[in-house]
Amino acid sequence: EPSLREVAEPTGRFIGTAVNDGLLSNGTYSGIVGTEFDSVTAENAMKWEAVEPQRGQFNWAGGDRLVQFAQQNDQLVYGHTLVWHSQMPGWLQNGSFSAAELRTIMTDHVTTQVARYKGRVQRWDVVNEAFNEDGSFRQSKFYQQLGSSYIADAFRAARAADPNAKLFINDYNTELDNAKSDGLYRLVGDLLAQGVPIDGVGFQNHLIVGQVNGPAIRQNLQRFADLGLEVAVTELDIRMQMPADSSKLQQQARDYRAVADACLAVSRCSGITVWGVSDRDSWVPDVFEGQGAACPWDENYRPKPAYDALRDAF
Ligand code: XIL
């Protein structure tokens, strides 16, 4: 049987997964990542706390490991993420800086990281999770001190550091047309009108089994695509109340299929990344009490119905 990447490649879309670089030494894990996917996203290794644990001191070990793996396996790399309120290093989170200093800290970080991977990371989540659920800007340290202009500044710094990388803004609960995605839509329109270098919008798609509305997701992807931007499904997983059973797993397969169909129906939707290979490695049980089994492979790295559904979609 063909792999996911083998069926995806003729469609011109990428199929990716979040990768925990610490697991790449596990042959089963790295075998699946290398064979089934043609794009990889660092699950944590390219986040600010991992990359710049002390101000001006960069640790590229995890990111480099992933990029090297990707090159060996002829894969794209989706860079995640440059500016985000979460997983910031302590010196940044707890430090107090003037606005001018914080702006410099941010643009230096963006510049250094994008330059490091110039030509080797094709897409970047430049700004992650900038919105509240009501569509207003999240009161992150960056927003509080710099106002919304931090977003444009981050994109400009990224573009200058690698003119060929595609620059994304990424968020969750923006999959449907709602207050949050409306806020994102307004921002992106403003950025484009101001000539800010943005190329795409990422939709995380951390979803719940039985609550996936494929046509509504397609419609919302399309309205962003109609701005002339690339769109992508960047962190797909579909969780369920545990324990799993066969009817939930079948519903999950239909839900995965619905998301894949939505992307494939939008010509500017460049690809789909799942947020983890197997239920064993997924972030879901740690964060969503009582929920899990959100990935296409089970705890023993056996493909689930969701895997077949994904493959059938291409
Ligand atoms: C998650 C990782 O999967 C976890 O390992 C980590 O502990 C917390 O972050 N939105 C994002 C991702 O943009 O970076 C998050 O990843 C999941 C939610």
- Distance from Cα 298 to the centre of ligand 1, integer Å: 19
Which listed residue (43, 175, 230, 235) is catalytic? 235
Would you state the pLDDT for residue 173? Answer: 98
**In the CATH hierarchy, which fold is given to the domain comprising 42-204?**
TIM Barrel (3.20.20)
Q: Measured in angstroms, how far is the CA atom of residue 44 from the centroid of ligand 1? A: 7
Ligand 1 atom with minimal separation from the 172 CA = 10
Task: Kindly state if the Cβ of 43 falls inside 6 Å of ligand 1.
Answer: yes
For the CA of 282, the nearest atom of ligand 1: 3
Is 283's C-beta closer than 6 angstroms to any atom of ligand 1?
Answer: yes
Dihedrals phi, psi of 9, to nearest 5 degrees: -55, -45
CA of 8 to the centre of ligand 1 (A): 25
Q: Is 49 a catalytic residue?
A: no
Q: Is the CB of 204 within 6 Å of ligand 1?
A: yes
Which residue's structure tokens are 């070990």? 61
**In the chain, what are the domain boundaries?**
42-204
In the block, residue with structure tokens 């643009």: 107
Write out the H or E segment, with its range, that includes residue 160: helix 149-161
Task: Specify which residues 14 forms β-bridges with.
Answer: 271
pLDDT of amino acid 254:
98
Best of 17, 40, 43 for a ligand 1 pocket test (most atoms within 8 Å of beta carbon): 43
Supply the pLDDT for residue 101: 98
222/163 Cα distance (integer angstroms) = 26
pLDDT of the residue at 291: 98
291 C-beta closer than 6 A to ligand 1:
no
Residues 6+ apart with CB under 8 A from 61: 45
Residue 42: closest CA among 116, 111, 150, 95? 116
What are the residues whose beta carbons fall under 8 Å from the beta carbon of 146, sequence distance 6 or more?
A: 99, 102, 103, 106, 153
Distance between Cα 64 and ligand 1 center (Å): 19
Tens digits of pLDDT across the chain (314 residues): 999 999 999 999 999 999 999 999 999 999 999 999 999 999 999 999 999 999 999 999 999 999 999 999 999 999 999 999 999 999 999 999 999 999 999 999 999 999 999 999 999 999 999 999 999 999 999 999 999 999 999 999 999 999 999 999 999 999 999 999 999 999 999 999 999 999 999 999 999 999 999 999 999 999 999 999 999 999 999 999 999 999 999 999 999 999 999 999 999 999 999 999 999 999 999 999 999 999 999 999 999 999 999 999 99
- Residue 105 has what pLDDT? 98
* Complex prediction ipTM: 0.99
pLDDT at 118: 98
Q: For residue 120, how far is its CA from the centre of ligand 1 (angstroms)? A: 22
Shortest-distance Cα residue to atom 15 of ligand 1? 43
